Chains A and B, each alone.
Chain A
Amino acid sequence: MSAARWRRAMSASVGVSMPARSADVPRLVPLPVLATPKTFWFERIGARVKPRHLVVLAAALLYPFVASPFFAYQIGAQALALGLIALSLTFLGGYGGMVSLAQMTIAGFAGYLVAIFGTSSVAGVSLGWPWWLAAAFALLGATVLATAIGWLSVRTEGIYTIMITLAVGVAFFYLAQQNYTVFNGFGGFSKVAAPELFGIDFKQPVPFYFVALTAALAGYFLVKHLVRAPFGIALQGIRDNPRRMASLGYHVTAHRVAAYAVAGFLAAVGGLLMVWYNGRISPGTVNLAQMIAILIIAVLGGMRHPIGAFIGAVVYVLLQNFAIDLFVRERFNLVIGGVFLSIVLFSPDGLLGLWAKLRSSLSQTRISQPKRRRP
C-alpha cells in the first residue's frame, strides 16, 4: 500500500523517466509524462520501443545463423549466461545499492543442485530426477540461499556487504571442495547435460543459444519491469536514502532481502545455463576468480542500465577467448588487464557511460545547443 503511494508521488514529478538515472543530477527539462489513463498494453510498449531496440533484437535472433557454431556457443551463449548472472549484480548494485560478491556462488549452487538432483557422472550422489524437476528445485534452492545471504548481509553497508558476501562465497567454495558426500569434492560433477525436448537436442550450439537468449531476455525484461514497479521504485528510494524511506513507513530490510531474492533467482537461472553450457561443475566454477569476474563484467558494462551486464559479458568473453591472439601469447593477461583498466579509467560508468558520453558529445556538435546549466 505504502509503495503505491510512493509511486504516485514519484510519477507526479518524473513520470516514467528512466529510474536508473534517478541518482544523476536532476534534469532541467522533465521528460513528458506518457501515461494516459486508458491505453492498450501494446500501445504502451509501442511507445517505448525505439528502432535501436529492434535492431538489437533482430541481431540477437539472427546471430547464430550467421555466426559459426563456435561463435554461437562459446561466445554468444556463454556471454548470455554470464550476462544473466552479472545482471543479478547490476540489479542489486545499480538499483539496490548493495554490491554482492556472492552472485557467482548462488549461480554455482544452482548448478550443483541440478547435478545433485538430476543425472551426472557421479551416480552415487545424483538422485536422477527428471531434468525439469531438478531444474525447478535448483532454482528454488538457490533462491532460498540467496535470500538467506541477503538476510545475513542487509544489515551491513558498502564495503562490509562486500566483505560478508565474499566470506560466504569463499566458505561455499571450500565446502564444495572438501565435502565428498554431497558436492563430490575436488572433482565435482561432469556429464550434466542440457535436456532433449521435442526432438531438439539442447546441447547443440544453436538450440542452446536460443535457450540462453530466451532466459536472458526474460531476465532483462523482468529487471526492466521491476525497476518501474512500486517495488523497484521503493528499492531505489532505499538506495538513495534509507532513513527517509524508513520514516515514510517502508520496511527497508524487507525490501533489501526481497531484492536479494530476485537477484538470486536471476543468478540461479544463469547458473543453470552455465552448468548446461560447461556440461560439468566443480569448485573451480565458484572460486574467488569467478566471483570477481562477475563484478568485473557488471562494472565493465556499466551498472546504470540492465543492458550493461550483457555488454560487459560480451566484451569479457571476447577478451577471454581472443586476447591470446592479440599480443605475445605468454603475456595475454596483460591485454585483458589493460583493456579493463582503460575502460574503467576513461569511463567510471563502464561501456554504457562511454556510449552516453559519445552520444551527448555528438548531439551537441550537431545542433550546437548551449551548454546546460545546472539548476
Chain B
Amino acid sequence: MRAMKKKVWVRSIVGMAAATALMGSAWAQEALKIGLLSNLEGPFAVPGQDGYRGAEMALKEKNGVAGGKKIEFIKLSSDATPDKAVAMTRKAVEQDKVQVMIGPLSGDEGIAVKNYAKTQPGITFVNGSSGAQATTLADPATNFYRFNSEGAQWMVGLGEHALSKGYKKMFLISEDYGFPYSQVQGFMASYCAKGGKIVDKAWVPLGTKDYASVIAKIPKDIDALFVVLGGSDAVNFLTQYEQTGGSKPMVGGSITVDQTVLNFKGKRRESLLGTASAGPMADSIDTPEWKKFVADYKAQFKDGFPSPSLFAYLYYINTKATLNALDAVKGDLSNGQKAFRDALQKTDFKGPAGDIRIDANRNGVGTTYITEVTKAADGSFYNKVVKAVPNISQTLGLPEAEFKKMGLGSRDVPDCRK
C-alpha cells in the first residue's frame, strides 16, 4: 500500500514536470529568442554589463515586444577572447536556436564572430559594440550588420582640429592592438594629409604599468602628444609623465579621456584642460534625443553609471535597429530572413547621438563628436562638444580606391615621420 502511494506520488511529480516543460516550450514558441552576447568576465566585465543595459533599454522602449512577438533575450557572456565569443555564439545559435544574434563587445571578438557568421547563413548577426575595421572591410559576411561606426571613423576630424590648435609635430603613445591601430589611422589619415607629422610611435602592451622608457624617448621639439591609452593605462602614463616634469599638451583617443582620467588628482590635472579627443558620443551632447536617452538610462538603472557609457550607447543603437526592423517586417523571418535583412539595410532613424544608417558593407555611417576637456561651474572637468562631424563613412571620407591603397591601420600604416 505504502509502495503504491509512493509510486503515485512519483508519477504525479513526473507528470507535472513534463507538463511544465511542455508549457514552457509552448510559451517559447510565442516568444522570439534573440541572443545577446556581451562580457561578464575578464577586463571588460564592468563595461560589458553596461552593454546589456543598453540592449535592455532598447527593448523596454518597445515594451518587450517587436514584430508582434514577445522578445526574449538569451544573455551570454564572453571574457573578451575570440575563442569564448565564438563558443558562446555557437551555443546560442546551435543549442538555444536563436534566429537573431546581437554581440559581441570587442574588436577581435567581432572578427571571430563575423567568420562564424559565414557558416550560419540562415541566422542574422548584429554587432554589439565591437569596432575593428576588418570586420566589415576585409572579407565581410553578408549576414553580419554593424550599425555603429568603428574606431577609425570615431577619430575623423580630430586631425584637422589638432592642426587648428597649432600641433604640427606630435609623438604617439598607444596600446599595441587592433582597436588603437584603427584609432591612430582615423586620426593620421587627415592629419598627415594636411601636413602634420607624427615624428615617432611608441607602441606599449595593453596593461603597461611602467612608462619610464617611453617618456625618455619623447623628443623635446614636438608640439603635443597623441595618447591612445585606455583606463588605468592612461592614468599611469599621466601620473608618470607629470612626475618626470613633462608639460606637452595632449590629444586623446576615444577612450583615453574618460571619467577615470578626468577624476585624476595630480598637479597636472589643470593641464588636462583643452585636451581634445573624439568619439561616436559625448556626455555633454546638447540635443533633446541625447538628454532623453540619459534620463531614461538613469531612471531604468539605479545601479548603473552616472551617465550611459559608450558600450550602453552602442548596444542600444544596434538593438534598436534590430527591433525596428522586426517591427517593419511584422516579425517575419521566413525565406532565409530576406525581408528582415532588407529592412535592416534600410534602417534610418534618429539615434541619441545622430542618425543611424549603414553602408553597402553593412557598416554604420555615423556622426563623430570632437570634444575638449573643460571646467564646469562646480569645478569638475567634463568633455565639452566643440564640433559634430556627420556622415562619416568607413573609408574616412576618402574615395574607396584611395583608402584601399592606404590599407587598414596597423603599427606601420599610416606613416608620416618626415
| Of A27-35, A37-45, A246-254, A328-336, the one touching chain B | A328-336
Q: CB distance B411 to A180 under 8 Å? A: yes
Q: CB distance B411 to A324 under 8 Å? A: no
Q: CB distance B94 to A69 under 8 Å? A: yes
Q: CB distance B178 to A187 under 8 Å? A: yes
Interface: A282 (CB within 8 A)? yes
- Bound Cα distance A191, B86 (Å): 13
Q: Which residues of B contact A70 (CB under 8 A)?
A: 90-91, 94-95
Interface: A346 (CB within 8 A)? no
Q: Which residues of B contact A177 (CB under 8 A)?
A: 205-206
Interface: B40 (CB within 8 A)? yes
Q: CB distance A280 to B87 under 8 Å? A: no
Q: CB distance B112 to A190 under 8 Å? A: yes
CB distance from A183 to the nearest CB of B (A): 13
CB distance from B273 to the nearest CB of A (A): 33
Q: Which residues of B contact A330 (CB under 8 A)?
A: 40, 49, 52, 75
Q: Which listed residue (A68, A190, A191) contacts B94, Cβ 8 A?
A: A68
Q: Which listed residue (A68, A187, A191, A321) contacts B87, Cβ 8 A?
A: A321
Interface: B177 (CB within 8 A)? yes
- Bound Cα distance A127, B87 (Å): 28
Interface: B82 (CB within 8 A)? yes
Q: Which residues of B contact A284 (CB under 8 A)?
A: 80-83
Q: Which listed residue (B40, B82, B91) contacts A321, Cβ 8 A?
A: B91
Q: Which residues of B contact A320 (CB under 8 A)?
A: 87
- Bound Cα distance A366, B206 (Å): 61
- Bound Cα distance A285, B411 (Å): 23
Q: Which listed residue (A178, A191, A278, A333) contacts B83, Cβ 8 A?
A: A278
Q: Which listed residue (B41, B76, B108, B205) contacts A187, Cβ 8 A?
A: B108
B87: nearest residue on chain A (CB-CB)?
A: A74
A170-201 vs B, CB cutoff 8 Å, 1 = contact: the mask equals 00001001101000011100110000000000
B372-412 vs A, CB cutoff 8 Å, 1 = contact: the mask equals 00000000000000000000000000000000000000010
B84: nearest residue on chain A (CB-CB)?
A: A284
Q: CB distance B111 to A333 under 8 Å? A: no
B residues near A, CB below 8 A?
40-41, 49, 52, 75-77, 79-83, 86-87, 90-91, 94-95, 108, 111-112, 115, 176-178, 205-206, 411
17 CB contacts below 8 A, A to B, read A68-B94, A70-B91, A70-B95, A73-B90, A74-B87, A74-B94, A177-B205, A186-B205, A190-B115, A278-B83, A278-B86, A279-B115, A284-B81, A285-B83, A324-B76, A324-B77, A329-B75
- Top 7 A-B pairs ranked by shortest CB distance? A70-B94, A284-B81, A186-B177, A329-B75, A70-B95, A278-B83, A178-B205
Extra 7 A-B pairs, beta carbons < 8 Å, given A178-B205, A278-B83, A282-B82? A68-B94, A186-B205, A187-B178, A190-B82, A284-B82, A329-B75, A333-B40
